[in-house]
Chain A
């Protein structure tokens, strides 16, 4: 990890560029930033092009671009579930989210919990949705910071400050401080504008990878031939088990259902200027899936290039494990200037989602905890100010996470976060269609889902989110989020029906049928 001046210069210049853009963004599509929907949703003014960049920058995070190839590098074919996952998620966005946008627009809702509060008239259920969102997002932010950490280390920028037992990574702290400052001043407009730069860099990198790598490594045939045969395909399931097949399919489906429930996805969606924009964005989003699939193959390219056995990268692999596969491959195969560009793509690719995630959590805290429980009479300006400060606290939380705790904690919590956030599906997504659901039943289902899901992941000592269920004598390995969601749905729907049979109490629905567009 020695210092490469050309690569570092390009990396720093691009970082400075996006910083300037981040502060400038406050003036873009100018609005009154002392209003929460202006700061936290960009005034709901983004057209199809900006929404596409924003959602792409938001949902295909730097961590994805490092972790998915790392999965293929380490585990092989089973890591490729990211591909069907991203094919499944966009039709859901297309179908469900225009309804969500319409009702939020009509009622001035800023978060999913706002919607739940209005639809079911239950502040407790809204609190459950808000807290789940915030808790699931925090480790996600931490993982973005790890993404930055990996590329900074790979560039050779190791300037650490030793404070007692703490090791503070100075370039990481600098990146974090800049990110915090422009998010505070510009709100969602900053990541929306920066996402454009990030995507240009990412697509440039993808193009370079698919052109340069096969030439350098002797074609795709050679690349796949260097992968151990046992890793190349999923292991066929043994007798009386669905084995890797059900695990793979449920991971794809569960991840697709979870993704749009994350607060940062909701923030991106609600910032669109119309429901038509959401539909058009959903049609064009798969372009990112293709980029992701091609980048995923970098895991195999790293095997073919043999980077893990080269002494130059030994320290990197020791520090970051398989996550170092992509940076090592880029260092190994690209000229310095391309290394600078592609590392900047990953680094800036971490800043965009980190900013949106902190804004989304801040919106949740401000709307559904602060204004609901602490200061019901707060003015719009106070609301916006609280959100700005909360965004700082959330990011600092993510930073402390990776400074104070071992990296594996963030990874485990992110795993659990996916299981937990899925449990808001009945209230948030089903709630868009079914007003007969009862808040107490939804709350019971949520609790049952969180409990079962956590228990299932705990059984693997928090190593894996795949749990094995016995169904009619067949072992069915299944993503815990999906299994827990089944329990959740059964409870929420069953109890709602029961309540509706025995109770004539009217629904407390503040929304009207025409709000849904």
Chain B
């Protein structure tokens, strides 16, 4: 139970969002929505996938 669970580190992936200069721009837009807005919204499904993945790995490890 004290085994280090490295896959938990995946939960840190959304911290990428803190790198603001990367997405503070209008191009490329998506159906008229500037990059700044759709990029940050696109992170929502990514976060779901990441947590779901970690959840599955947890289960496999029998926790």
Contact = CB atoms under 8 A, between A and B. Distances in A.
Given A83-B41, A232-B26, A233-B25, A283 B51 contact: yes
A80 B17 contact: no
B53 to A, nearest CB: 10
Interface residues of A, number: 39
Contacts of A381: none
B62 to A, nearest CB: 13
Contacts of A80: 36-37, 40
A288 to B, nearest CB: 9
A362 B18 CA distance: 36
Interface of A: 77, 80, 83-84, 86-88, 90-91, 94-95, 219-224, 232-234, 236, 244-246, 248-249, 252-253, 279-280, 282-284, 286, 289-290, 293-294, 297
A289 B17 CA distance: 14
Interface residues of B, number: 34
Interface in B17-63: 17-21, 24-26, 29, 31-34, 36-37, 40-41, 43-48, 50-52, 54-55, 58
Nearest to B48: A286
Contacts of A91: 11-12, 14, 47, 50-51
Interface of B: 8, 11-12, 14-15, 17-21, 24-26, 29, 31-34, 36-37, 40-41, 43-48, 50-52, 54-55, 58
A289 B20 contact: no
B24 A245 contact: yes
B41 to A, nearest CB: 5
Contacts of B29: 221
A240 to B, nearest CB: 15
Given A87-B46, A91-B50, 20 more contacts: A77-B36, A83-B40, A83-B41, A86-B44, A87-B14, A88-B14, A91-B11, A91-B47, A94-B51, A94-B54, A220-B31, A222-B32, A224-B32, A236-B24, A249-B19, A284-B48, A286-B44, A286-B45, A293-B40, A294-B41
5 interchain residue pairs of minimum CB distance: A221-B32, A220-B32, A84-B17, A91-B11, A245-B20
